């Protein structure tokens, strides 16, 4: 049985203790006991979105609450993993601490915490380049470790020939597939741009957008559903590229557009309710007029 702690434990220690009690096999919560690493994934994503909403609403009280919910997700994963002797909350904290120190050599010279206070002078751009270089080195080290492990288990030498169709290390590795499509598109483009695969200015991007629109129009004219699907995706991908060249986060820009649409549509609904009408009872011309009024109202 998990034991309740008393004394001067930190808030984190108390939280970890509560989590352990919730998972206690004799006295814990049935729902918490049923959860697994995979079953928590959808809840984690939901909590991230709720954090985003609080940020966009500028609600710091709500943000504090939602960050607590997100922290609980991390504690939950750590508890389950610790029960299986995989990792713990402490090992998570230790891993990220080491990573932060290692990836900030300009703040912690020599990768040592004790060297803080003797920083190197780097610009923001130089820090980003340095960060990516360190990450690439880490990825290569992990790849070599994996090759070594595989070779040892098979009794082979560490050198492995890459066959046709076999994956090789890529600059696009580690861009999470579970990311929202718009955000992932921008990250993929940024990674490729870091390898020199990019237009140097915005003009070719505009040309490409026009090209994609023409190809979509042709697909629509042909009535080819598969081509329409393909060309629409290409156009969206190119629009994300435009955002990147403008130093705009496409995901956040689209979220902002969603919010404007939502606010304006709700304004129209309220306006019509005041007239004793519903949206479905008004023609499109009148709705367009109301839409423009909503925009003029500052929404």
175 lies in some domain: no
Domain count, the chain: 2
- Condensed to tens digits (0 to 9), the pLDDT of residues 170-214 reads 888 888 888 899 999 999 999 999 889 999 999 999 999 999 999
17 lies in some domain: yes
CATH of the domain at 76: 1.10.287.1080
> Tell me, what's the pLDDT at 124?
84
> Tell me, what's the pLDDT at 6?
56
- Condensed to tens digits (0 to 9), the pLDDT of residues 17-59 reads 999 999 999 999 999 999 999 999 999 999 999 999 999 899 9
Given a cut of 60, whether residue 4 has pLDDT beyond it is no
Domain boundary among 51, 79, 102: 102
Q: How many residues does the chain have?
A: 299
> Tell me, what's the pLDDT at 120?
79
Domain boundary among 58, 83, 102: 102
139 lies in some domain: no
By three-state DSSP, how is residue 171 classified?
Answer: coil
Q: In the numeric block, which tokens belong to residue 183?
A: 């955000």
- Residues 69, 70, 72, 77: is their CA dihedral positive or negative? positive
What's the whole-number average pLDDT of the chain? 89
- Residues 257, 262, 268, 271: is their CA dihedral positive or negative? negative
pTM of the model as a whole: 0.68
- Condensed to tens digits (0 to 9), the pLDDT of residues 82-132 reads 999 999 999 999 999 999 998 898 898 888 888 898 877 878 888 888 887
Which of the residue ranges 143-157, 230-244, 277-291 would you say has the lowest mean pLDDT?
Answer: 143-157
264 lies in some domain: yes
Q: In the numeric block, which tokens belong to residue 264?
A: 């304006």
User: 71 lies in which domain range?
Assistant: 11-102
| 8 A C-beta contact, residue 243 and residue 189 | no
Domain boundary among 102, 118, 149: 102
């Amino acid at each position: 049985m998990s034991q309740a702690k008393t004394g001067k434990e930190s808030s984190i220690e108390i939280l970890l203790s509560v989590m352990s009690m919730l998972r206690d096999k004799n006295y814990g919560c049935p729902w918490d006991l049923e959860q697994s690493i995979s079953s928590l994934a959808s809840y984690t994503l939901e909590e991230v979105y709720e954090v985003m909403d609080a940020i966009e609403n500028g609600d710091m009280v709500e943000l504090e609450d939602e960050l607590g919910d997100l922290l609980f997700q991390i504690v939950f994963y750590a508890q389950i993993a610790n029960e299986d002797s995989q990792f713990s909350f402490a090992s998570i904290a230790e891993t990220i601490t080491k990573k932060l120190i290692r990836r900030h050599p300009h703040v912690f010279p020599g990768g040592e915490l004790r060297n803080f206070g003797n920083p190197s002078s780097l610009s923001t751009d130089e820090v980003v380049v340095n960060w990516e270089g360190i990450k690439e080195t880490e990825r290569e080290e992990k790849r070599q470790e994996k090759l070594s492990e595989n070779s040892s288990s098979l009794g082979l030498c560490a050198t492995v020939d890459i066959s046709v169709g076999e994956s090789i290390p890529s600059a696009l590795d580690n861009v999470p597939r579970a990311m929202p499509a718009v955000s992932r598109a921008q990250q993929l483009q940024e990674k490729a741009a870091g390898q020199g695969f990019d237009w140097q200015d915005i003009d070719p991007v505009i040309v490409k957008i026009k090209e994609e629109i023409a190809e979509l129009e042709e697909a629509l004219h042909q009535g080819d559903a598969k081509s329409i699907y393909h060309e629409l995706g290409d156009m969206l991908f190119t629009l994300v590229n435009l955002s990147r060249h403008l130093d705009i986060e496409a995901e956040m820009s689209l979220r902002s557009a969603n919010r404007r649409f939502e606010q304006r549509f709700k304004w129209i609904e309220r306006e019509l309710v005041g007239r004793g009408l519903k949206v479905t009872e008004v023609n499109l011309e009148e709705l367009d007029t109301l839409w423009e009024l909503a925009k003029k109202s500052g929404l």
